[in-house]
Amino acid sequence: MTFESLMTYVGWPLIKIVILLGVVAFCVAYTVYIERRLLGFFQSRVGPNRVGPFGLIQPIADGLKLILKEDIIPANAQPFLFRIAPIFAIVPAFVGFAIISFAPPLVTGAGVVHPFVVKDVNLGILFLLSITSLGVFGIVLAGWSSGSKYPLFGSLRSASQMLSYEIPLTLSVLSVILMAGSFRLSDIVDAQSKLPFAIPLILAFGVYVISAVAETNRIPFDLPEGESELVGGFHTEYSGMRFAFYFLAEYANVVLVCCVATSLFLGGYKIPFVPYETLLAAHPILVSALGLAVFGVKAVLFLYFYIWIRATFPRYRYDQLLRIGWMVLLPIALLNLFLVAGIKLWLLR
């Protein structure tokens, strides 16, 4: 095996993975910070502002604290499952980032293309869905292995919630796939050169946003960990590093959902209403940098929307939540899918 092929198959992906992991972990930590600050502003208070300038070092301090805390395993717990459950939660959340293209590919001198994605898989979005569907195991196993009733309740709720909302979520994504005609995320982004899908697929976008909030267990759908009912839900018994895993996994999922929504509905790294070809005339590095910035801005705006929801709404009840999933979102998603299929078949021939 030559050095070059080694680099192509092992080296570059590894470097990309390491960079991505670092960046994602950083983003996730600061998502927590942004959320706390924004909630502070929403609620007419300050939020974390003591550690470092504007409290910017707060996430690091929190992380250190959690690492140094005692790792408690309850007497009733099943130790093996209890230990591995957080891994089930955090791995899918991070693996999902592998297929997201954050910026237009960087084209250097001799036509060598460096895509800003770990692996632009052929079935990208399907891969993403199947990987994130494994995240529920982290929650279910945590609830089961804790040997306590509140986590059990939390994980039961979580399992049914995630299963219920995965279906409308998948259906709304399907309509995007129908429009783009490909499972590949970069193809989907390219298909939105002229118009972000959020506008023609407004129904699907709505369904996606609501289901995504439910999939990531956030208010108003945060029943699995609804603190006023189930204390901490599935992670009630966790402490220290293992709790931090769940915490990180939740926020990694939030960031992932923001990135996916940006790619699927908001046009990814494309600047809306600006033809992409005009940009290509500029310097390639500039194009990539601009694309990255655009992607970031869109994702952060979506994140802002997320936090805004959290500051505003009360929590749904378990049965109401399931009813919304099955009776409202699912029919809307199906209707939308039929509409899109019909349009695609007869109008856009």
- Residues in contact with another protein by the rule CB under 8 A: 39, 42-45, 81, 121-123, 126-127, 129-131, 133-134, 136-137, 140-141, 143-144, 149-150, 152-153, 155-156, 159-160, 162-163, 166, 183, 219-220, 222-223, 226-229, 231, 310-320
Cβ of residue 170: shortest distance to another protein, in angstroms? 8
H helix and E strand count, the chain: 15, 2
Cα separation, 28 vs 11, whole angstroms: 25
Cβ of residue 202: shortest distance to another protein, in angstroms? 20
Cβ-based nearer residue to another protein, 103 or 322: 322
Q: How many other CB atoms sit within 10 Å of the CB of residue 110? A: 5
Cα separation, 271 vs 282, whole angstroms: 14
Tell me phi and psi for residue 297, to 5 degrees. Answer: -60, -45
Cβ-based nearer residue to another protein, 5 or 108: 5
Tell me phi and psi for residue 106, to 5 degrees. Answer: -90, 120
Burial 269-281 (b: 16+ CB within 10 A, else e): bbbeeeebeeeee
Cβ-based nearer residue to another protein, 46 or 282: 46
Helix crossing, 240-264 with 202-215: angle to 10°? 180
Burial of 63 (0-12, 13-18, 19+ CB in 10 A): middle
Cβ-based nearer residue to another protein, 49 or 133: 133
Cβ of residue 104: shortest distance to another protein, in angstroms? 24
Tokens of 142: 């945590």
Cβ of residue 136: shortest distance to another protein, in angstroms? 5
Cβ-based nearer residue to another protein, 43 or 108: 43
Cβ of residue 89: shortest distance to another protein, in angstroms? 13
Residue 112 pairs with which residues in a beta bridge? 108
Burial of 240 (0-12, 13-18, 19+ CB in 10 A): middle
Cβ-based nearer residue to another protein, 287 or 333: 333
Cβ of residue 280: shortest distance to another protein, in angstroms? 27
Cβ-based nearer residue to another protein, 38 or 294: 38
Cβ of residue 224: shortest distance to another protein, in angstroms? 12
